[in-house]
Amino acid sequence: MTYDVIVVGAGPAGSSAALMAARAGLSVVLLERGPYPGSKNVYGGVVYGRVLDDVLPGWWEEVPVQRWVTRRSTMVLTGTQALTVDFRSGAWGQAPYNGCTTLRSDFDGWLAGKAVEAGAQLVTSTVATGLIREAGRVVGVRTDRPDGDLRATVVIAADGVNSLLAKELGLLPKTDPKHLTLGVKEVLSLPKDVIDERFGVRGEEGVDVEILGCTRGIAGGGFVYTNRDTLSVGVVVSVDGLAKSEVRPEQLVADLKAHPAIAPWVQGAEVKEYSAHLIPEGGYDHLPQLHAPGFLLTGDAAGLCLAAGIWLEGVNFAIGSGLAAGRAAAAHVLGGAELSSYRKDLESSFVLQDHKRLRKAPALVLSDRVQQRYPQLIADLVEGLFTVTNPTAKPGAISLLRGAAKRNGVKLRHLAADGLAGGRTFR
Amino acid sequence: MTWDGISFEDRMETVEFRVGERPHIVVDSDICRSCTTKACVTACPANLFAPTSDGGILFNYEQCFECGTCYQVCDSDGALSWTYPDGGHGVVFRSG
C-alpha cells in the first residue's frame, strides 16, 4: 500500500500530525501498536488544551475530561515537614479553561478520532518494525502484519520516547539515561465526594500538586492529580540516579503515600492501576535532529517534553509538534516544500521558543543542591520563622537563613549563585 | 516484598497484559554474569529481573510495561535485545 503520509504512533503527537495532513487532503495511515490509542501511554495527569483552540474550536465541550484544574500546589517535603504554595483561580474552572486531568486511554482515543474524522485511516495492533529506505531517503515502514510493507512520501515518527525508528536512523542515541526520567504512577480509587472534601474542590474542579524533596535524594519529584473518582499519585526520577540508588521505584511511591502531608489524602484508597513510563527531559540542548529525507520526528520521540521545574508539560508539546509535522508533510507533498520547514515552524511556535528559553532549567532543577539540600533548607527556614521561641526573642530572618544554610551544608555564595542562575533560567 | 500494604503481586494484578507468544525482550544471561551492577534488578518498575544463584539474570517478559528502563540502565553491551511485543499484545493501560 502507498500513502502520502504514514504516521507511526497514535498518541497526541501522531494523531495531531495525522489530523493536519488529512485535513490538507493527503492520504494518511495512522499506525498504533496497542489495541487502542493510549493503551501504551502513561503520563502524570494534566493536558493543557490552549494549543487546540485553532484546530479544534470548542474542544473543551467534548474532551473526555476528568476534572478541570482550578488549583495548583507546589510542595516541598522533607521527612517530617511540608511547605505548600497553593494557588486557585476561578477562571480556570470556566471556558476556555487552562488544564484538565484526563486519562490517556480516553484522551488519546478522542484525539485519534479527530484524525479519523478528517480522513486518516487508523490501524491499531500494528507495530512499525523498521524503516524502508531507498537512496538515502525513508520511503516507508515495515509492519508486523502479513505483507505489511507500507510506502509513503513522508514517514512521521511519533513512536514515543523509545523511538526505535529514530534510533534506526541514528537520530537518537541508543541509550541516554542521564536525560531520561522514569515516571511511576498509581491510580487510586476513592469516591468522588471524598476527593472533593479532601482537596477542597467541587463539581468538575480539580487539583494539580507538584512535589519536590520526596525521592530520597534521587533527582526528580512527585505528583498528585485529582481525577473524577481516582487520584493519580507517583514520582518521576532520573533513570541514571535510580539505577545508582538501588531503590525500587514502587518504594518511592509508597514513601510519598506514607508522608504525613500526603497520607491523609490517599487513606483508604485502593490501587486501581500501577504503571510506569520513560520521559525525555533533556530539553533544548539535547534535542535530536528533527528531520531526515522523507522523515519527521515529533512528540516524545523528538524529546519535546518540557520539564522545567514549575512547568511540567508534555501532551501540549506533543500536539504542537505533531500539528507542525502534519503541516510540513502537507507542504512537502502538495507543494514540494523542504521538510526542514518543520524545524523553522517549531522555532517560531511555543514548542521550541519555550524549550529554548528554558534550556538551562532541566539541569538546574535536577541539580544536587536543588534536589538534596534546598528542600530541607527551605523547610528549616520556614519552621524557624513560625516557631515561637518565647521567652527568647525572635531570631532575625537573615540569622535563620544563615543557620538553615549552615545546617544543610550550603554556603551563602552557593545560594546567591543558584538564585542568580534561577533568575537567568526562568527570566 | 510488601510496601504500603499491597504485595507486589497484587500491585501487578491491577495491570492488564495481553501476553504474546514471542518474548519481546531477551536476556543473554552469560553476559549478565560478568555484570557487577545488575541495575536492571532494582530499576525495573515491574520487577521482572531476578538474579540467579550462578550470577546470571532470569527475565520474565510477560508482565512488562515496555518502558525501556532496563536497556537504559544496562551496562553490558548485547545483554538485552529489546523490541516491542507484536501488535496488540503486551501491556494495556486503562488509566495511563
- In angstroms, what separates the C-alpha of B91 from chain A's closest C-alpha? 7
- Report yes or no for ipTM above 0.90: yes
Give the largest Cα separation in chain A, rounded. Answer: 84
| Residue A81 within a domain | no
Q: What is the pLDDT of residues A296-355, one digit of tens each?
A: 999 999 999 999 988 999 999 999 999 999 999 999 999 999 999 999 999 999 999 999
Here the CATH number for the domain that contains residue A23 is: 3.50.50.60
pLDDT in tens, A356-403: 999 999 889 989 999 999 999 999 999 999 999 999 999 999 999 999
Domain count across chain A: 3
Number of domains in chain B: 1
pLDDT higher than 60, residue A184: yes
pLDDT of residue B2: 43
* Residue A75 near residue A211 (C-beta atoms within 8 A): yes
One domain for residues A304 and A393: no
Identify the CATH number of the domain in which residue A273 sits.
3.30.9.90
pLDDT above 90: percentage of residues in chain A = 97
**Residue A267 touches partner B, C-beta closer than 8 Å:** no
CATH assignment of the domain containing B57: 3.30.70.20
Only one residue has cell 495548583, namely: A72
Residue B1's pLDDT is 40
Single-letter amino acid code for the residue at A35: P
Give A287-314 as a 3 state SS string. CCCCEECCEEECHHHHCCCEEECCEEEC
Cβ distance A175 to B45 less than 8 Å, yes or no, reads no
User: pLDDT of A195-222, one tens digit each?
Assistant: 999 999 999 999 999 999 999 999 999 9
Per-residue pLDDT, A115: 98
Is A88 contained in some domain? Answer: no
Contact: B65, A175; criterion CB under 8 Å: no
Q: How far is B68 from chain A (nearest CA, A)?
A: 7
Mean pLDDT of all residues in chain A? Answer: 97
CA distances to A161, A254, B22 from A274, rounded to whole Å, are: 19, 12, 24
Q: How far, in Å, CA of A43 to CA of A316, rounded?
A: 12
Residue among B41, B89, B93 with most chain A CBs within 10 A, to mutate = B93
Q: Across the interface, do A143 and B87 touch by the CB < 8 Å criterion? A: yes
Of A236, A257, A280, the residue at which a domain comes to its end is A280
Q: Does A419 lie in the same domain as A354?
A: no
Q: In a mutagenesis test of the A interface, which of B67, B71, B75, B82 is the best target, namely the one with the most A β-carbons within 10 Å?
A: B67
A265 compared with B6, residue with greater pLDDT: A265
Mean pLDDT value across residues A21-34: 98
Write the pLDDT tens digit of every residue in B34-73: 999 999 999 999 999 999 999 999 999 999 999 999 999 9
- Is residue A106 scored above 70 in pLDDT? yes
Question: Would you state the pLDDT for residue B77?
Answer: 85
On whether both A259 and A138 belong to a single domain, the answer is: no
A359, A385, A402 - which closes a domain: A359
**B11 lies in which domain range?**
2-92
Query: CA-CA distance, A79 to A255, in Å (whole number)?
Result: 10
Same domain, A225 and A304: no
B33: closest CA of chain A, how far (Å): 18
Residue B3, pLDDT > 70, answer no
Say whether both A31 and A130 belong to one domain: yes
- Residue range(s) defining the domain that contains residue A188: 178-280
User: Do A61 and A155 reside in the same domain of the chain?
Assistant: yes
Is B68 in contact with A34 (Cβ distance < 8 A)? Answer: no
A35 vs B: CB within 8 A:
yes
